[in-house]
Amino acid sequence: MSLSGVSCLVTGAGGFLGQRIVRLLLEEEEALAEIRLLDKAFSSEALERFEQFQGKTEVKILQGDIRDVPFLHRACQGVSLVIHTASIIDTLGLVEKQLLWEVNVTGTQRLLEACVRCNVQHFIYTSTIEVTGPNCKGDPIFNGDEDTVYKSAPKFPYARSKRLAEDSVLKADGQTLKDGGMLMTCALRPMYIFGEGCPFLQGHLDKCLLNKNVYLRFSRKQALVNPVYVGNIAWAHVQAAKALRDPQKAQHMRGQFYYISDDTPHVSYADLNFELTRDLGFGIESRLPMPLTMLYYFSLLLEIVSFLLRPFVRYVPSTNHHLVTLLNTPFTFSYRKAQKDFGYVPRYTWEEARQRTGQWIASIVPQRRECLKSKAA
């Protein structure tokens, strides 16, 4: 099914993943009627990229807050497809819980309400693997799928907020629209997303440069995960959008979630950084800074110190027990269901993803070195 003539709203369009989805939509052979790009703020670089691809599809920039109800109604008016990627990502507990809930949970619910009021038929939500786990025990999953039973109730604020938002999206499927039509929804749960422009990769690169071009080992080699390249998760959104418009495929997809991975080798998070840049001459530490159990309790101690200091000063530890568990638990999933239900097949091979990401990292190394020097001076 084609997206030709469709009016689409992409939230979080100025972000790492949102930009890539917009780029793919603008590159479609059969042009959309319109793409509305919604975000709280857009960098000048993002706006320049959007201008490069403007052609047959009309592009409209909407800068505003996902919590603003009148703004959302204006954004959704006349739209038939919403791709909702906007959220606050917080792995360290840096964001106040109230703000996290207002944006990730309430913002999603208000967007769904706007879709019903404005007769939006199709809604795709970008969830996260963290709504599944790992749990606090660090129970592993090897090549799991949507039917895998896993005892977990997300406790970390970010994971909980995403789970509640995803639940709202899937429960909204089948709601009657104002014009009598029906809302159809699904959610995509990507693995850790890497690729050009990834802010987490840049953060790890900075620490590597400060550590004499050697990556810090923050996850053990046995903690295998299957990250997904940003181009492939963006492509999954486009394929899901097309399939939701196909009545036969939509009946299988409605109200469902899908794990999205690709053919990236199963590696630990730390070893992924190394694999992407080994050709640039970077190394990686051979072991964790301390035994895993000790690292877990050390992180827990830092959290306790942070809690005790809260009345006097805001101290944010560099790690926490949730992050240590997340980074050191084997957790891999198959994309078979997405392939079966809506034809998802990775658009980029691992070698292509590795080459593209490595080239981007190589291009920013001089800039990051200068930036770190100026901070040290």
- Whichever domain contains 34, its CATH number is 3.40.50.720
Reported confidence tier of residue 377, pLDDT bands at 50, 70, 90: low
Domain-embedded: residue 203: no
Q: CB under 8 Å to 278, separation ≥6 — which residues?
A: none
What's the confidence (pLDDT) of residue 290?
93
Domain-embedded: residue 325: no
Distance CA 27, CA 97 (A): 38
Domain-embedded: residue 321: no
Domain-embedded: residue 143: yes
For residues 245-273, give the mean pLDDT.
96
Residue 231 has pLDDT above 80, yes or no: yes
Domain count, the chain: 1
Domain-embedded: residue 371: no
What's the confidence (pLDDT) of residue 52?
73
Within 13 A of 248's CA, how many CA atoms are on the CB side? 3
Domain-embedded: residue 221: no
Residue 22 has pLDDT above 70, yes or no: yes
What's the confidence (pLDDT) of residue 29?
65
3-state secondary structure 39-96: ECCCCHHHHHHHHHHCCCCEEEEEECCCCCHHHHHHHHCCCCEEEECCCCCCCCCCCC
For residues 255-273, give the mean pLDDT.
97
Q: Which of 162, 242, 249, 337 is catalytic?
A: 162
Domain-embedded: residue 314: no
What's the confidence (pLDDT) of residue 250?
96
Domain-embedded: residue 64: yes
Task: For residue 314, give both structure tokens.
Answer: 């805001």
The verdict on whether 162 is a catalytic residue reads: yes
What's the confidence (pLDDT) of residue 31?
85
Q: Domain of residue 21: give its range.
A: 7-198+226-265+332-349
What's the confidence (pLDDT) of residue 54?
63
Average of per-residue pLDDT values in the chain = 94
Look at 177 and 93; give whichever has higher pLDDT.
Answer: 177
Task: For residue 280, give both structure tokens.
Answer: 């640039």
pLDDT tens figures, 127-148: 999 999 999 899 999 999 999 9
Q: Concatenate the DSSP letters of all residues of 219-277 into one string.
A: S-TT--B--EEHHHHHHHHHHHHHHHTSHHHHHHHTTEEEEE--S---B-HHHHHHHHH
- In what helix (H) or strand (E) does residue 322 lie, and over which residues does it extend? helix 321-327
Distance CA 93, CA 135 (A): 17
Reported confidence tier of residue 318, pLDDT bands at 50, 70, 90: confident
- In what helix (H) or strand (E) does residue 124 lie, and over which residues does it extend? strand 122-126
What's the confidence (pLDDT) of residue 166?
98
Q: CB under 8 Å to 4, separation ≥6 — which residues?
A: 28, 30, 31, 32
What's the confidence (pLDDT) of residue 94?
82
For residues 225-239, give the mean pLDDT.
98
